[in-house]
Structure 1
Amino acid sequence: MDMVKVRVPATTANLGPGYDTLGMAVSMFLEVEFELSSKHSTVNAEGLDCEQLSSAVEDHLIIQAAEFVFKKAGQPRPPLHLFIKNGIPVAKGLGSSAAAIAAGMFGANVLLGTPFTRQQLINWAVQREGHADNVVPAFVGGLTVNLLNGDKVFYEKLSVPPELQLILLVPDFTLATQKSRSVLPAEIPLEQAVASMQRSCLLVAGLAKGRVEHLRWAMDDRLIQPLRKQFVPGFDQVLAAARKAGAIGVVMSGAGPSIVAFSQDKVDDIGVAMLEAFEHAGNKGKIFYPAPCSIGAQIIN
């Protein structure tokens, strides 16, 4: 195959207490067209935050991910023309790097004739990304519960209750994952660990059984979010405003700075309330209403 176009969804990880464990695909997409070239590699990009992406071809995350798969197949990476349409905010806690890695590996695998399974690609992508909570739902869609054991990823995919709606506040500033992780402690008290386990288990059970009302308590993270919110001015005000407007649960998306609220209704009211609270704290941002996405990386041509 000389050309393929793939689509990979954005992801929101942790969902409150599920640090490095839970992730959900959402309907914001990275689309990449791969075309074999007889000359040299090029990258052309349009869409959200393209100015933040590397302009150097060899440093481009999608190119590097594709090259990894070609090497696994025992072949040098051929010159590639990449045409990128990006709909995922970059460095905003929505899995932009995981989507890029997934797109590069998935696209390269298709060009090679699909010699590797999706599970193999997931294992390699997690090795590259470092954690599975964004990578797995980017590949398979839905809500995933993920375990990294050595160099292999174990996961289960769950369907998201159809009545669950998302309200996403994306700030106009970025937050590097490394910075967001730098404030996390090496050890935690047993009481905090137990509280986190209780909430993450209730969250998964509630979503699996369609008991979305459990999110009100299950998403109340006591472990990670209190440490990270310092990087998002106005976080507490946004959370309070969203809940007052009718949100069931409100959490930081991944490492931040984006904030995602969950509800069964009143999504417009919740979005307005979140943005007003955020702007009142001296910030700027945008509201999106992405649906949960049940499909992961896929061929679209």
Structure 2
Amino acid sequence: MSGSVRVRVPATSANLGPGFDSLGLALGLHDEIELTELDGGRSVVEVHGEGVGRVPRDERHLVLKAACATYELAGVDRPPLHLTCHNAIPHSRGLGSSASAAVAGIVAACALLGPGKAPDDEAVLDLAARFDGHADNVAACLYGGLVVTWCSAGSFRAAHLEPHPDVVPVAFVSAHSSSTEATRGLLPDRVPHGDAAFTASRAALVVHALTRAPDLLLPATEDRLHQPYRRPAYPATAELVDALRSAGVPATVSGAGPTVLALTTGEPLPEGLPTSGFETVRLPIDTAGAVVTG
């Protein structure tokens, strides 16, 4: 073996209501991987936890593909790799599992390449965003906390913000999976100007609410750009969001769903919520992002 590294990456929630394809939040639920360079032979993949028996165990595995892309970007010949994954982030639930996998592979490969060979921070973000397709998820996973992302001159960028310490996310993790591609297909090509203006105001407000004024989170998380159009894809999710918001709890669809994210300030949740088919999990905000642990 030539070198080995361990990386921990957090789950993420994208959009946060009105911040479609631009806002992301890192959550305290983690996957951990170990990536080892081998002196010879073929690459090997081991998977434990979430995804066992369902994800590829060869070079099609997303973490390994992302690591290989990093070596290619660096212009370095890639040795065979041994990848071990310990997965806790649910797959296809709206918690950024694919973004976490991409970030894990890229960060691990950068650590193995070392200073002088590894791509710089901006190149890492851009590679991860292009690899996964969701800059909001990958930036939150990379940096932790709250992020605002955008694309400028063909490259993805992100600004990192510190969330208010009183914000306590609660995830209602659905037992059912959802396809981002399918739910995105429900979105119209055009929306009314009034709805666009409404959502723009709320996107600005939710950044203020999450960082400075959590008491404004209920109005700040209103959205007219994407959630209303996706309701047919997950009626139970829409019902739970409606019930939470009617009870005064700021709630959104997490990413493309079907998980629901409530942005509470630690108060007890109302009773009688329609949570059948959901697991209620209080998750702290992850402020560290992707971390090389060994």
- With normalisation by structure 1, the TM-score equals 0.92
Match of 2:93 in 1: 92
Match of 1:39 in 2: 41
Whole-Å Cα distance in 2 between the matches of residues 78 and 127 of structure 1? 23
What is the aligned partner in structure 1 of residue 182 from structure 2?
179
- Cα distance, 1:151 vs. partner? 3.1
Aligned residues: 290
Q: Does 1:140 align with 2:133?
A: no
Q: 2:155 aligns with which of 148, 152, 159?
A: 152
Distance in 1 (alpha carbons) for counterparts of 2:55 and 2:272: 32
> Is the helix fraction higher in 1 or 2?
1
Q: Is the 8 A contact 1:246 1:263 kept in 2?
A: no
8 Å CA contact retained: 1:24, 1:143: yes
CA contact (8 A) 2:161 2:211 kept: yes
In 2, distance between residues paired with 1:165 and 1:51?
34
Aligned to 1:52: 54
Amino acid at match of 1:86: N
Q: Please tell me the residue identity of whatever aligns with 1:143.
A: L
CA positional deviation for 1:244: 5.4
Q: Contact 2:14 / 2:136 at 8 angstroms: preserved in 1?
A: yes
Shift in CA distance, 242/273, structure 1 to aligned 2, threshold 3 Å: farther
Matching of residues 1-301 of structure 1 within 5 Å: 2-37=3-38, 38-55=40-57, 57-114=58-115, 115-209=118-212, 211-243=213-245, 247=249, 249-267=250-268, 269-270=269-270, 273-274=272-273, 277-279=274-276, 284-301=277-294
- Identify the range of structure 1 (69-78 vs 165-174) with the bigger mean alpha-carbon deviation: 69-78
Shift of residue 164, structure 1, vs aligned partner: 0.9
- Offset of 1:10 from its aligned partner? 0.7
CA distance in 2, matches of 1:265, 1:244: 18
Segment of structure 1 superposing worse, 216-225 or 43-52: 43-52
Separation in 1, partners of 2:257, 2:166: 25
Return the alpha-carbon distance in structure 1 between the equivalents of residues 84 and 113 of structure 2: 19
Is the CA contact 1:17–1:199 (under 8 Å) kept in the aligned structure 2? yes
The answer on whether the counterparts of 1:3 and 1:34 sit within 8 Å (CA) in structure 2 is yes
Matched residues in 2 for 1:61 and 1:236: separation?
Answer: 30
CA contact (8 A) 1:242 1:273 kept: no
Structure 1 residue 201: deviation in Å? Answer: 0.5
